[in-house]
Chains A and B, each alone.
Chain A
Amino acid sequence: MKIPPVLFFLLSIILLAFPVQWLNKLEHAVLAVTKPLVYLHSKTPSITAEAEYDPRIIESLKPKDKIKFLEQRILELNDTITLLKNENTSLINKIKSISDFRTTIPSALNIKEHYDIIVSDVVIKSDASVWRRSIIINKGENDGLKSGLTVVWGKYLVGKISDVGAFTSRIQLITDPAFRAQVLIMPCADTRVSDDVSRMPFGVLAGISFDSAIVKWVSREYKVQNGWEVYSAPDPNALIPKGLIIGKVNNISPDGFFYNLSITPAIDFYNLNDVLILRPKIK
């Protein structure tokens, strides 16, 4: 039986018109197939070689077999060392990320009081569409995540959670065209964001589906220059803490009473292996 193509066109258009919330369940069901990748991604060293090894075995072997056995044993131990080194590097990076995040946030904001920090590994580092920018992590609804939570790496803003499945979640990066956040622009690279930010220029960050973003609606009464740093602004609605580094201004173009700033992000998203998710505590 031949199905007329018009039927598929109509079905696609109907799907496009459907509310996103209704279709999320379907997306999450398909994202569940990434679960095996989560297991593959975990680099826990195998301890089977340790468990199977019995020192008495070596005594019963002939000298020729003994050498072969010991060579095999050295290879196994080398593999274990490599795995442990990888795990150690990964753990050091995670600790550094948490430590950087805690030192960056203004002292007035007590992190323990406001946020639970959830550490997660990146499973898929790219979006299938060249026009969107997202990554997939190995934590989901079962780990207490929900849409809209802020994602950081150390003192850098990475993005926010856009979709949550049972075991995986999608993070919308700051370079995605749909990402919006209030930001402030500061001249000094080394100063921490003070509590008084009222005299700093504000703007709205928007991604442009490339490894850069733009900041719109920056008032021209401030003399912004190339090289100024862009930080997240205090925004109680967006759940984003202030003072997270976003990037540097690399181009300024006037647009009426405002500036449009081109931003180079401070981190390379393709090299991210783990991220921190900030879950606000319910009071």
Chain B
Amino acid sequence: MKKFITIIGIFVIFLEVLLFYKLEIKGVRPDFLFIVIFIATFYYPFENMIFPIWLLGLLKDIISQSGLGTNAVLYLFIALIISLTKQVIFKEDMGIQLVVLFLGAWLCNFCNGAGLVLFYGTPGWGYIIMKSFFIGFYTTLVGGFFLMLLYSFISYIQLRSGQF
């Protein structure tokens, strides 16, 4: 599973730079890699996912202009929070999953933007709060779509194997 998540993540990173920028609306586009990491953390033990998540975050840092280690530490931190809280919250409820996805994407992007404001002074705190909010919202919309696809696929497999 580690290898599968790593390969999917690398594929998503390359699609992000080659294709997904066309989904951008007013400078906001969904964080596809975060969706992959969210699903991986939600459905598999965090201990098994530590290295793939760290590696994918680091790869994103290398491909982008972000400081090396920024996304690696952020993704790992948010994955840790999700893994700690997923035992407490009712994880089968899709509404809660979407709320967690939104909060995670918002927090991750806010921290990324905050780093820029602290280092370069632009684009300003108000702007990064708004932008990370919309990135979180857009990511939740796209992530929700993928979660529904995933559930439909799982139901189909269960139906075919006669579990219903």
Contact = CB atoms under 8 A, between A and B. Distances in A.
Interface of A: 2-3, 5, 8-9, 11-16, 18, 20, 23, 26-27, 30-31, 124-132, 134, 162-163, 170, 172, 176-178, 206-211, 214, 270
B64 A12 contact: no
A129 B124 CA distance: 17
A3 B29 CA distance: 33
A206 B69 contact: no
B50 A3 contact: yes
20 contacts: A5-B50, A8-B72, A12-B72, A13-B73, A16-B73, A26-B62, A127-B17, A128-B13, A128-B63, A128-B64, A129-B65, A130-B109, A131-B112, A134-B64, A172-B65, A177-B122, A178-B119, A208-B123, A209-B27, A214-B122
Interface string B108-131: 010011001001111110010001
Contacts of A124: 17-18
Interface residues of B, number: 48
A68 B11 CA distance: 42
B152 interface: no
- Listed residue (A15, A130, A177, A207) with the most chain B CB atoms within 10 angstroms of its CB: A130
Contacts of B67: 16, 20
Contact of A134 (B65, B72, B120): B65
Q: Which 9 pairs, one residue from A and one from B, show the smallest C-beta to C-beta distance?
A: A15-B69, A126-B21, A208-B123, A210-B27, A129-B64, A12-B73, A128-B64, A12-B69, A132-B65
Given A128-B17, A211-B27, A16 B65 contact: no
Contacts of B76: 5, 8-9, 12
A210 B123 contact: yes
Contacts of B131: 209-210
B60 A129 contact: yes
Interface of B: 13, 16-18, 21, 24, 26-29, 31, 46-47, 50-51, 54, 57-60, 62-73, 76-77, 80, 109, 112-113, 116, 119-124, 127, 131, 135
B149 to A, nearest CB: 23
A40 B4 CA distance: 27
Nearest to A127: B64
A178 B127 CA distance: 16
A12 B66 contact: no
Given A2-B47, A12-B73, A207-B122, A130 B65 contact: no
A60 B71 CA distance: 66
B28 A132 contact: no
Nearest to A10: B73
Nearest to A209: B123
A15 B72 contact: yes
Nearest to B47: A2
Contacts of A11: 54, 69
A210 B26 contact: yes
Contacts of A9: 73, 76-77
Contacts of B80: 5
Given A2-B47, A206-B120, A211-B27, A178 B68 contact: no
A237 B54 CA distance: 39
Nearest to A214: B122
A15 B72 CA distance: 10
A206 B73 contact: no
Contact of A162 (B17, B18, B57, B65): B65
